[in-house]
């Protein structure tokens, strides 16, 4: 009998084995399913290999700047669990950037989701499978983080279908229910191809300048009012926008890139961070790495 706790662990590629697709009654569809299944299996082998080769070549030939390890190690001294938020435009570089940290994330249950899961697992990710199960998976992710230590969730807050740079509240809800901090993450390349998709997915080119930056932590009181929670979500969205603007300008000699800023919300009024300061605190515990709020999840 399967362990009842297994429903709260990231199933990753095992999800497809535990939940096989129904066999069609029509012969033509059964033939199509036969070939589709085998093509998916080949894709699950080839895609991670090609991705790893491409990203390693890009990184080897590029000048990179990355404060991830420093910031995560600093945060882990006060809190081993955290929620990392980023924009969907940066999803292509995320598996490579966060490969050392064994991040947990979410992928759909579709064919594309199966391929993405294989790629993520090849980069040391643990994957919850969502799609139409998104609300159920959100509860599973909360349970898993509350029951385990050294869990980092990486969540594209405007995924999976947009609109671009408009944050959904799942990441903030997890942070609130688990009493853990949120960090904002941004990875950009000075030269990149932007795919003609809703999020303008960025593909970094070789012989480049690539920068990854993390700011945080940001804390949300688990007992806060609905109004305070709304204010916190709006603040995280603004910090992510400001961070994207900061990284973009730092790569282009202070000049904003049209491709990065083209999908910023119309009500974004510009980066209002004080001079020589990264990030703006909302609460008294924000942007501090020396101590945690009294209600924070115990650091095991």
- pLDDT number for residue 157: 97
- pLDDT number for residue 193: 96
Which of 85, 173, 120 is CA-nearest to residue 11?
A: 120
Vertex 160 angle, CA 154 and 166, to 5°: 85
Model pLDDT for residues 125-145, shown as the tens digit of each residue: 999 997 666 778 899 999 999
Q: Beta-carbon neighbour count of residue 22 at 10 Å? A: 6
Average pLDDT over residues 147-161: 93
Model pLDDT for residues 197-206, shown as the tens digit of each residue: 999 999 999 9
Which of 126, 168, 165, 164 is CA-nearest to residue 148?
A: 126
Contact 104, 152 (CB under 8 A): yes
d(CA 120, CA 107): 9
- pLDDT number for residue 3: 45
d(CA 214, CA 212): 7
Place of tokens 């999800």: 15
Whether the predicted pLDDT of 1 surpasses 50: no
Whether the predicted pLDDT of 5 surpasses 60: no
Average pLDDT over residues 13-41: 78
d(CA 199, CA 87): 9
- In this prediction, residue 11 has a pLDDT band, given cuts at 50, 70 and 90, of confident
- pLDDT number for residue 7: 59
Average pLDDT over residues 109-130: 93
- Which residues contact residue 102 at a Cβ distance below 8 angstroms, ignoring those fewer than 6 apart? 124, 125, 126, 152
Which of 88, 81, 93, 79 is CA-nearest to residue 106?
A: 88
- pLDDT number for residue 15: 86
Place of tokens 């999840």: 297
Give the chain's mean pLDDT: 91
- pLDDT number for residue 267: 87
Contact 260, 244 (CB under 8 A): yes
Which of 233, 247, 241, 251 is CA-nearest to residue 271?
A: 241
Determine how β-strand 182-189 pairs with β-strand 82-86.
parallel
Whether the predicted pLDDT of 115 surpasses 80: yes
Lowest average pLDDT, out of 31-45, 80-94, 224-238, goes to: 31-45
Average pLDDT over residues 22-28: 72
- In this prediction, residue 29 has a pLDDT band, given cuts at 50, 70 and 90, of confident
Contact 244, 188 (CB under 8 A): yes
Sign for the pseudo-dihedral over CA of 227, 233, 235, 238: negative
- pLDDT number for residue 16: 83
- pLDDT number for residue 4: 43
Percent of the chain exceeding pLDDT 90 equals 71
> Which residue ranges form the domains of the chain, and what is each CATH number?
4-10+25-261 (3.40.1130)
């Amino acid at each position: 009998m399967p362990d009842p706790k297994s429903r709260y662990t990231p199933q990753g590629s095992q999800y497809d084995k535990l939940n096989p697709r129904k066999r069609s009654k029509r012969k033509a569809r059964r033939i199509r399913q036969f070939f589709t299944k085998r093509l998916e299996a080949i894709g699950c082998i080839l895609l991670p290999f090609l991705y790893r080769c491409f990203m390693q070549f890009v990184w080897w030939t590029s000048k990179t700047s990355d404060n991830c390890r420093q910031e995560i190690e600093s945060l882990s001294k006060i809190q081993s669990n955290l929620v990392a938020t980023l924009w969907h435009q940066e999803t292509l570089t995320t598996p490579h950037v966060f490969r050392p940290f064994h991040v947990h994330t979410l992928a759909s249950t579709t064919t594309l989701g199966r391929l993405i899961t294989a790629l993520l697992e090849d980069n040391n990710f643990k994957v919850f499978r969502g799609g139409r199960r998104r609300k159920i998976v959100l509860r599973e992710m909360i349970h898993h983080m509350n029951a385990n230590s050294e869990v980092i969730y990486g969540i594209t807050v405007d995924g999976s279908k947009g609109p671009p740079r408009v944050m959904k509240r799942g990441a903030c809800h997890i942070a609130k229910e688990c009493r853990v901090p949120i960090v904002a993450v941004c990875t950009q390349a000075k030269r990149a191809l932007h795919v003609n998709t809703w999020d303008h997915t960025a593909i970094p080119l070789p012989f480049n300048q690539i920068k990854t930056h993390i700011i945080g932590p940001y804390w949300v009181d688990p007992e806060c009012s609905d109004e305070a929670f709304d204010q916190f979500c709006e603040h995280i969205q603004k910090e992510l926008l400001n961070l994207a603007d900061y990284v973009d300008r730092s790569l282009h000699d202070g000049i904003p890139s049209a491709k990065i800023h083209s999908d910023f919300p119309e009500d974004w009024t510009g980066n209002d961070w004080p001079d020589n300061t990264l990030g703006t605190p909302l609460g008294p515990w924000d942007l501090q790495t020396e101590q945690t709020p009294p209600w924070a999840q115990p650091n095991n």
